[in-house]
Amino acid sequence: MGLWEWVILLLVAGICGGIGQAIAGYSRAGCLGSIVLGFIGALLGTWLARALNLPEILPLRLGDGVTFPVIWSIIGAALFVAVLTLLSRRP
């Protein structure tokens, strides 16, 4: 992967993480937090989809056969943020 593929991958992960935060109602993470949530969401969402034998929806194809699962990243980020919000609630 070249430099531009990494930049596009970071940008898409940030957008997916931001959408996942908006769905879960969490707004404490900044730009880097959104990127991290997008990547964690991609891992979690892809794992969940494979465990349930669901198809990969809307994969973003980058150079050299690398794909980024956009929909599963958003779903995974929203689930991860929801769990984080439940665990970090103060009494």
Tens digit of each residue's pLDDT (9 = 90 or more) over 38-68: 788 888 888 888 899 998 888 888 777 778 8
2 burial level (CB within 10 Å; 0-12, 13-18, 19+): exposed
Question: Tokens in use for 87?
Answer: 């665990």
53 conformational bin, left if phi > 0, alpha if psi -120 to 50, beta if neither = left
Mean pLDDT of 62-80: 83
**pTM: predicted TM-score of the whole model, two decimal places:** 0.80
- Asked if pLDDT for residue 28 goes beyond 80, the answer is no
CA dihedral 87, 23, 51, 56 (to 10 degrees): -150
64 conformational bin, left if phi > 0, alpha if psi -120 to 50, beta if neither = left
